Structures are given as C-alpha cells and as structure tokens.
Amino acid sequence: MSLLVWAANPLAVFRHFRQHRYLLVRLAWREVQARYRGSWLGPLWSLLTPLLMLAVYTFVFSVIFKARWGNGLESSTDTALALFGGLTAFTVFAETVGSAPALILGNQSYVKRVVFPLEILPVARLLSNLLQASFAFSAFAVALLIFRGTVPWTMLLLPVALLPLTLLSLGGALFLASLGVFVRDIQQVVSLVITMLMFLSAIFYPVSSLPSECRWAFELNPLVPIIEDVRRVCLMGAMPNWPSWLATTTVGLLAAVGGLFWFMKSKNAFADVV
C-alpha cells in the first residue's frame, strides 16, 4: 500500500494510532501537567482560568462597553459568552498549529529513536489542547446555568461542530511540525498568520456586522463557519449549518490527509537535520 493511499484510509490510520494509544494518552496528559508543573493548584487551573476569564469578559462587555451582539443574542452577557465561545474554539487551533513548528525540534531525543512514532507528537498536542477546551466549555455551561438557568440541548452537538476544527488543526500541525525541522524561520511566519487570523475569523464580531461586499472574503476562511457553528449549538440552541459544516469538514479531512502524508514522507530525514 502506497503512503498516500495509507494516509487517505481512515481505518488504516485509526489502527496505526490505536496501536500507540497508551503512549499517545501519556504524552497528552504530560502536556497538560507541564503547563502547571510546580503550581499549587496544578491541573485545577484548567477549570479556574476559563472561569476567571469568562468573569472578566462578562464584566467588560456588560458593565463597561454595554455591547450587544445581535443575531438573537441581545444581552451584554450573551455578547461576552459569544466572544468567549469563539475565542475558546480558536485557541485550540492557534495553540496546536502555533506550537507545531518547534514540536520536533523540542523533542530531539525522540528523533534518534528509530522505533518511536514521531507522528503521535502533534496528535498528543492536539489532544491536550482539546482537553483544555473541554474545561473552558464546562465553564461556559456553568455560566449559561447562572445567567439563563438552562443549557441548550444542542450543546451536545459541540463535538460535531468542532470536528472540522480538529481536522484542520491536526493537518496544519502535522505539516508545520515537519516543515519546522527544515525551515526554522517558519515559527515567526506562523505566529504572525495566527495573529492575523484571530482578527479575521469573526471572533470579536458577528459575520452579519460585516459589509455585504466583503463578507464573502471572510467566509472563505474555514474558521469562520466553524466558530459560528459553535455559537449556534452553545448559545442559540440551533443546529449547525450543515452545508457549511460539510464543506469545512471536507476541507479539514483533506488537510489532515495531506498533513499526515507530508509528515510520514519527510520524517525519515529528520535525524539528518536536527
């Protein structure tokens, strides 16, 4: 079986990573622990941090700006929740892709080990970021209970809404983790692009507020419909926009396949470069 055919075969890829599931889980948990190593509260900060940030957003947008989001989210509290939900989803992408160029270089001891599956490193980083996001969305649900007294049942569809984001993040991380070994300057370029994307992905504003003549350009960014779907299922009690979800999932799947193919094809040269 050729490498490209293997990378495009979901069952083969699943079996490959399932074979290393124990190591994958250990690495992902180590990533989480490393964030809070030496702190008194340890992983508890994963829950406290989003709660504190949500409190800050609520105060700033409710008391200071008295902002209104629109699109059925009329209260200033809804504005804070809409921003928090969008930013939490974007953070998964930003932290997974943004750290990828230095991922292999930061684990050079693994490169020399012929039997170590280097491709699980970006997956472990993604899993740790998704775990962090799960704590943030738990805080989000608590805030909904406090301010609205209920959580929409559609929030159960949050993993579905985040599926294309997960695939995009994985594909980007695999590609950039490999590219970062050969092109060291890519880290600065990626950091700049992620900062630009943060302001171009409808995190701080609704898509409906954009001028109609330029809205189409923003909608070409696959992160925009993903973030909008997160708000639909978490805040509006609505289903994802299935046509755009299907399109972004397809793009994400192609990115994941392409990223895995690139990584597996180039990883044999890592040891000669690091």
**How high is the mean pLDDT in each 10-residue block of the chain (274 residues)?**
75 87 89 72 68 74 65 73 88 94 88 82 94 89 88 95 97 95 90 91 82 79 94 92 95 95 90 77
Q: What is the pLDDT of residue 147?
A: 84
CA–CA separation, 239 and 246 (whole Å): 13
CA–CA separation, 167 and 248 (whole Å): 9
CA–CA separation, 1 and 213 (whole Å): 48
Q: What is the pLDDT of residue 242?
A: 95
Q: What is the pLDDT of residue 240?
A: 95
Q: What is the pLDDT of residue 184?
A: 84
CA–CA separation, 115 and 179 (whole Å): 21
Which pairs count as long-range contacts for 239-242, CB under 8 Å and 24+ apart, including other chains?
239/154, 239/157, 240/157, 240/160, 240/161
Where are the chain's structural domains?
69-267
Contact 242, 82 (CB under 8 A): no
Q: What is the pLDDT of residue 42?
A: 62
CA–CA separation, 173 and 255 (whole Å): 10
DSSP 61: I
Q: What is the pLDDT of residue 120?
A: 93
